[in-house]
Amino acid sequence: MLFLLLLISALISGQPAAAAERPNFVVIVADDLGFSDLASFGGEIRTPNLDGLASEGLRVSNFYVAATCSPTRSMLMTGLDNHVVGLGSMHEQTAPNQLDQPGYEGTLSPDHPTIAEVLQDNGYHTYMAGKWHLGHAPAMIPHGRGFERSFSLLNGGGSHFDTTGLTRDNEESEFVEDDVYLTKLPKNYYSSRTFTDKLIEYIDSNRDDGKPFFAHLAFQAVHDPIQVPDSWLRRYQGEYDEGWDKLRQDRLARMKDLGIVPEHTENSPRLWYIPEWDELTGIAQVTNARRMEVYAAMVEYMDQEIGRLVDYLADNDLLTNTYIVFFSDNGANPQDPIAQAKQRAGVILGANFFATNYRTAFESWGRKDSFVAQSAPWAQLSATPFSGFKLTTFEGGLRSPLIVWKSNHPRAGELNTDAIVHISDVAPTLLDLADVPQNELFAEGTESLQRGESQLALFDGLTSTGRAAFGTELFGGRAYREGRWKITWMHAPYGTDEWQLFDLNADPSELNDLSAEHPQIKARLVAAYNDYARANNVTIPDRTFFDGLEENLPPRPPVDAPNWPRGQEDNWTKEEENDDEI
């Protein structure tokens, strides 16, 4: 009799009879969070709620994303390579020779469905709150791409307290709720808190109707400007006074204890243009420590909001049949827009933009109207022990912490260090869990493309294996990983302007180029990358477009040079000026 009632109800609603039995999905994405920032991945930042999910779920240490945010988000939404779905480059940094190429439109392609559209068509509620960065036109916003309810920042970043934008070309951030472009933000707006409020509101509005839901919480934290509510400004006071050198050693030791990296792992060298902590003057140590204090507080605040969402789900009996997936969209951000604006006379960001729109003096750092960035030295801490960070195709730019939680997970607390998982795998995995055919996401004609592979067995704890290989490219940086082997191509000064070969099992930090020792392996992987690039419309940007991006850095010395030259210390050693002038 019960089955008959369910069947009649399903026929009336037009949804599958098994809808109530299918799982809910909560996909949480951090912005610019480093691989080792969470305590459960070796960091010193207090993240008890994410650590709790990790202790009851599965951690995966070989999870890969793109080197920046919107390409990652495009692959999360579609399960296809970013070069195919419109984000072959970030819209803001598309090279002239890429402008007319298919896959470089800078917005999410309408030719490929999103995971939200497919799940909505199959009886799911679909909700989103947070950063979108995949298009601004009505057909391109979350409401137009399958989200039943949404509250979203459409831009790549901006103030966390109001609509102040991030660049002179984007002085005011754009927000939407559903299909309405907002003229003002909710009262007491703060990105991490308000995004969580909205997602809870949307879930709660339909929580008794028996339909499953897909809820996407896309935090803006910890993208610069790093800002926190006033009561959080001193939460980490004094906790970074030992400096980046000591803290990188401490993180690596904890990562080894946790099994995140092998015992033989070494930290990548401190960047050649960053001084030793002990070389800094007292005032320079104080000001630099302050950057990381605010960053850490912002990470912990995000963790608090994740805990609030989980508590809501638990209090309303919504956790039993729910998967929670957490990761970061790329590695930690090394860029300091203030320094770039000063040194480059506003070529990109505008020399007076920050002085006009934000307070930049040291005493204001972290407050709602201020601008300060994490900067390269601390981004290297967040990337411990890897080389590179956001914008690069070294491990520090591509590898993200991944946590997969479900009630009574059979591998609760386990760390998987073997499976290779790619961001494109998330969407097809959710479809498998929802019992929705993959062909609803992957239309005919996409067979030759790099597509996501369902990791249902991994997410459910039934296997420890992942995918075999994947390729990636962004801003001319390239990589291809197959098993333990990875080839990486990065332009100078961060790379060598040629392919390098690394054995990630023996050398997770990409310190030892094995090209000479294993030329056949290198040649095979280069050929595999070239096949990937051809199939997925990869267009390498004209090198001249990026020649100026690192013009403020001194040349990288030869690897056998006895002493690496200085030349960039002024970014971190001089006393901060106590005014707002740029």
147-166 pLDDT tens trace:
999 999 999 999 999 999 99
Statement: residue 477 has pLDDT above 60 = yes
- Choose the weakest-confidence range: 223-237, 458-472, 491-505, 549-563: 549-563
Residue with more model confidence, 21 or 388: 388
Tokens matching residue 458: 């991994």
**pLDDT score recorded for residue 344:** 53
Rounded CA separation 107/98 (Å): 14
Please report, for residues 62, 97, 134, the alpha-carbon distance to residue 102 in angstroms, rounded to integers and kept in the order given: 30, 12, 16
Chain centroid offset of residue 360 CA: 26
- Contact in structure between 572 and 375 (CB atoms under 8 Å): yes
**pLDDT score recorded for residue 319:** 96
Helix 48-56 vs helix 282-315: angle between axes, to the nearest 10 degrees?
50
If phi over 0 gives left and psi between -120 and 50 gives alpha, with beta otherwise, what is residue 259?
left
Q: CA torsion 34→36→41→46, rounded to 10°?
A: -80
Rounded CA separation 31/33 (Å): 6
What is the share, in percent, of the chain residues with pLDDT greater than 70?
88
Half-sphere exposure of 139 (CA within 13 A, CB side): 6
Start-to-end CA span in the chain (Å): 73
Taking residues 70-92, what's their average pLDDT? 96
Half-sphere exposure of 295 (CA within 13 A, CB side): 31
Q: What is the DSSP letter of 161?
A: S
Domain 27-468+551-573, CATH 3.40.720.10 — does that match? yes
- Choose the weakest-confidence range: 69-83, 285-299, 460-474: 460-474
**pLDDT score recorded for residue 481:** 98
- Contact in structure between 242 and 394 (CB atoms under 8 Å): no
**pLDDT score recorded for residue 16:** 43
The tens digit of pLDDT for each residue in 318-337 reads 999 999 999 999 999 999 88
Query: Which uninterrupted H or E stretch holds 547?
Result: none
Burial classification of residue 310, based on how many CB atoms lie within 10 Å of its CB (0-12 exposed, 13-18 middle, 19 or more buried): buried
Burial classification of residue 447, based on how many CB atoms lie within 10 Å of its CB (0-12 exposed, 13-18 middle, 19 or more buried): exposed
**pLDDT score recorded for residue 350:** 57
373 φ/ψ angles, rounded to the nearest 5 degrees: -115, 160
- In the predicted model, what is the mean pLDDT of the chain? 90
Burial classification of residue 294, based on how many CB atoms lie within 10 Å of its CB (0-12 exposed, 13-18 middle, 19 or more buried): buried
Statement: residue 204 has pLDDT above 90 = yes
Statement: residue 550 has pLDDT above 90 = no
Taking residues 300-316, what's their average pLDDT? 98
Helix 243-258 vs helix 282-315: angle between axes, to the nearest 10 degrees?
40
Q: What is the DSSP letter of 423?
A: G
Statement: residue 414 has pLDDT above 90 = yes
Band the pLDDT of 342: cuts 50, 70, 90: low
Q: What is the DSSP string of 107-155?
A: S--TTS--HHHHHHHTT-EEEEEEE--S--STTTSGGGGT-SEEEEE-S
**pLDDT score recorded for residue 387:** 97
Taking residues 257-279, what's their average pLDDT? 96
- Contact in structure between 516 and 504 (CB atoms under 8 Å): no
- Choose the weakest-confidence range: 188-202, 219-233, 321-335, 533-547: 533-547
**pLDDT score recorded for residue 545:** 53
**pLDDT score recorded for residue 580:** 41
3-state secondary structure of 231: helix
Which residue numbers are catalytic?
A: 69, 133
Statement: residue 576 has pLDDT above 90 = no
Burial classification of residue 345, based on how many CB atoms lie within 10 Å of its CB (0-12 exposed, 13-18 middle, 19 or more buried): exposed
**pLDDT score recorded for residue 79:** 98
Taking residues 438-467, what's their average pLDDT? 94
Nearest to 124 by CA among 513, 431, 447: 431
432 φ/ψ angles, rounded to the nearest 5 degrees: -60, -45
**pLDDT score recorded for residue 562:** 40
- Choose the weakest-confidence range: 18-32, 61-75, 277-291: 18-32
Domain boundaries, the chain: 27-468+551-573
The tens digit of pLDDT for each residue in 14-63 reads 444 344 489 999 999 999 999 999 999 999 999 999 999 999 999 999 99
3-state secondary structure of 39: helix
Band the pLDDT of 228: cuts 50, 70, 90: very high
Rounded CA separation 37/403 (Å): 13
Statement: residue 409 has pLDDT above 80 = yes
Length of the chain: 582
Nearest to 131 by CA among 194, 203, 53: 194
- Contact in structure between 53 and 244 (CB atoms under 8 Å): no
**pLDDT score recorded for residue 374:** 97
Q: Is the peptide bond before 102 cis (omega within 30 degrees of 0)?
A: no
Return all residues near 454 (Cβ < 8 A) that are at least 6 apart.
Answer: 425, 428, 429, 431, 432, 438
Band the pLDDT of 170: cuts 50, 70, 90: confident
What is the share, in percent, of the chain residues with pLDDT greater than 90?
81
3-state helix, strand, coil in the chain (%, to 5): 35, 15, 50
Rounded CA separation 29/132 (Å): 11
**pLDDT score recorded for residue 167:** 84
DSSP bridge partners of 414: 58
Band the pLDDT of 2: cuts 50, 70, 90: very low
Nearest to 267 by CA among 255, 277, 279, 280: 255
Please report, for residues 321, 324, 407, the alpha-carbon distance to residue 314 in angstroms, rounded to integers and kept in the order given: 11, 12, 11
The pairing of beta strand 399-406 with beta strand 58-64 = antiparallel
**pLDDT score recorded for residue 346:** 46
Its sign, for the CA torsion 62, 66, 68, 69, is: negative
3-state secondary structure of 167: strand
The tens digit of pLDDT for each residue in 526-535 reads 999 999 999 9
3-state secondary structure of 356: helix
Taking residues 466-481, what's their average pLDDT? 97
